């Protein structure tokens, strides 16, 4: 039976977790500013969240927490990817550009396959994604009575749909300002710094 109150609790908790600045959000903003494959990237982020929330509600969170091997692989693999991605952003920021961030030449255009592979890697190699969706949302949602769990899950999933849509397409609408060379270099430098910080926090957590 649908419960509006429980739905809103799922919506609020999901929003509070997903709105924190992280690798996934930074990449969606970056994709929106570039204006390349925004819809597929946004849709992929939403699908990933929906699937992970569903798995968490099904009890996968307890399994993940009980497996040091799974946690370790995710931690070190995620840290390595974040370092690589961060350095790539710094290289883009340092590159002399007069607006090339949105150029359509071969150097800057990104294929759909590469765009999707990048967002999948950023999402699935980041242990925080699992902690937020599978473990935390799964644990809180699992505390409700069975008829109310679906309402909680739908609320959390709705938060992902609203947030990623607003983030990706909002950045696209603001592209004329955000894509200016100086602003773009700042975005790249900020993204690179954030990636390296997240990688350090992952390693320290081990």
Angle at 51 between CA 48 and CA 56, to 5 degrees: 120
So what's the pLDDT on residue 206?
Answer: 57
Instruction: Look at residue 106 in the predicted model and tell me its pLDDT.
Output: 37
* Per-residue model confidence (pLDDT) at position 187: 74
pLDDT score, position 161: 96
Residue 61 pLDDT: 64
State the Cα–Cα distance between residues 96 and 131, nearest whole angstrom.
39
Q: What is the reported pLDDT for 101?
A: 43
Highest mean pLDDT among 28-37, 87-96, 108-117: 28-37
Please give the Cα distance from 195 to 65 (Å, whole number). 24
Q: What is the pLDDT of residues 1-44, one digit of tens each?
A: 788 999 999 999 888 888 766 778 888 988 888 888 999 999 99
pLDDT computed for residue 104 by the predictor: 36
For the whole model, what pTM was predicted?
0.74
Q: What is the mean pLDDT of residues 167-182?
A: 84
Lowest mean pLDDT among 25-29, 92-96, 116-120: 92-96
The pLDDT value recorded for residue 7 is: 94
For residues 157-179, give the mean pLDDT: 90
Burial 33-60 (b: 16+ CB within 10 A, else e): bbebbbeebbbbbbebbbebbbbbbeeb
3-state helix, strand, coil in the chain (%, to 5): 80, 0, 20
What is the domain range of residue 192?
Answer: 4-205
Report the pLDDT value the prediction gives residue 152, as an integer from 0 to 100: 92
DSSP secondary structure string, 10-51? HHHHHHHHHTS--HHHHHHHHHHHHTSSHHHHHHHHHHHHHH
Q: Quote the pLDDT of residue 188.
A: 77
- Contact (CB, 8 A) for 32 and 91: no
Question: With pLDDT > 70 as the criterion, what percentage of the chain qualifies?
Answer: 85
Domain count, the chain: 1
Q: What is the pLDDT of residues 120-131, one digit of tens each?
A: 988 888 777 877
Residue 100 has pLDDT above 60, yes or no: no
């Amino acid at each position: 039976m649908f419960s509006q109150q429980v739905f809103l609790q799922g919506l609020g908790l999901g929003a509070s977790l997903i709105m924190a600045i992280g690798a996934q959000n930074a990449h969606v903003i970056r994709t929106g500013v570039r204006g390349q494959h925004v819809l597929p990237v946004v849709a992929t982020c939403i699908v990933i969240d929906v699937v992970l929330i569903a798995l968490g509600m099904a009890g996968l969170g307890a399994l993940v927490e009980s497996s040091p091997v799974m946690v370790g692989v995710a931690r070190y693999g995620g840290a390595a990817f974040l370092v690589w991605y961060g350095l790539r952003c710094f290289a883009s920021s340092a590159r002399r550009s007069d607006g090339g961030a949105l150029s359509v030449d071969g150097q800057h255009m990104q294929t759909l396959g590469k765009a999707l592979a990048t967002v999948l890697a950023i999402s699935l190699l980041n242990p925080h994604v699992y902690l937020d969706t599978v473990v935390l949302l799964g644990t809180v949602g699992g505390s409700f009575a069975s008829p109310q769990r679906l309402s909680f899950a739908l609320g959390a999933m709705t938060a992902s749909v609203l947030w990623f849509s607003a983030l990706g397409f909002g950045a696209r609408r603001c592209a004329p300002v955000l894509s200016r060379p100086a602003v773009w270099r700042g975005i790249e430098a900020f993204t690179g710094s954030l990636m390296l910080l997240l990688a350090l926090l992952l390693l320290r957590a081990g």
